[in-house]
Amino acid sequence: MQKLNPDIPTITAFENSPDRGKGLARDMPVRWAFEEVGQPYKVRLVSFKEMKESVHLTAHPFGQIPTYEEGDLVLFESGAIVLYIAQHHSGLLPNGTEARARAITWMFAALSTIEPPILDYEITGYMEREKAWYTERMPILEDRICARLDKLSGRLANADWLEDQFSVGDLMMITVLRRLGRSDMLKKYPNLSAYVARGEERPAFKRAFAAQLAIFNGERPVD
């Protein structure tokens, strides 16, 4: 595995992101976490072909992005990478064992409770459109998402963040909710829409978003 600079972590991202610069690929939460904690990072762009080749598979067993390399440490899974960044810098986890555990719980809730029905909906949307069951299945999947959003909305209520302060839990929850785009599902929950907008207003989010958009617009990272 090529080491660009052992002191500055290097992540991988799509050379050509299918999201067309919307910041929906999973390098985005990693970039956002780096920006929140003020850690510079490098990006190595990979094509779909390179992702499936042995060099990349050494870092990522499933041939995907993102990966994280820092010295001899190589990580994959955006959640694990974001958590690692949060644990090794201040700014994304509160002080206190219990408060930290609650923030991490929200991160897991984002990835393992909120995201799965959203992914089912997305994947059905582009893989099963021609199937006979498509029109019947989509509202069922939509209901499953809304059942989760309903509870999340109730829990957030009028608060700015899921716990007392912005944390890695909010970073991941907002990342996941962004996958709904400006869909009618999110619009049904004004407090969740405002929550996502609040996250997107953070200067760190804006820097991360601009960096991935620059790649979509043809800029290439410099070593």
Q: Which residues bind ligand GTB (CB under 6 A)?
A: 18-19, 24-26, 51, 63-66, 77-79
Looking at the Cβ atoms of 66 and 94, the one nearer to ligand GTB is 66
Minimum distance, C-beta of residue 96 to ligand GTB, in the bound complex (Å): 27
Looking at the Cβ atoms of 23 and 94, the one nearer to ligand GTB is 23
Residue nearest to ligand GTB (CB): 64
CA–CA distance, 107 with 83 (Å, rounded to integer): 9
Minimum distance, C-beta of residue 66 to ligand GTB, in the bound complex (Å): 6
How many other β-carbons are positioned within 10 Å of the β-carbon of residue 184? 10
Minimum distance, C-beta of residue 186 to ligand GTB, in the bound complex (Å): 15
Looking at the Cβ atoms of 24 and 99, the one nearer to ligand GTB is 24
At CB < 8 A and 24+ separation, what contacts does 92-99 make?
92/33, 92/36, 92/37, 92/167, 92/168, 92/171, 93/167, 93/168, 94/163, 94/164, 94/165, 94/167, 99/163, 99/164
List residues bridging with 23 in a β-sheet. none
**Identity of the residue numbered 61:** P
Looking at the Cβ atoms of 79 and 199, the one nearer to ligand GTB is 79
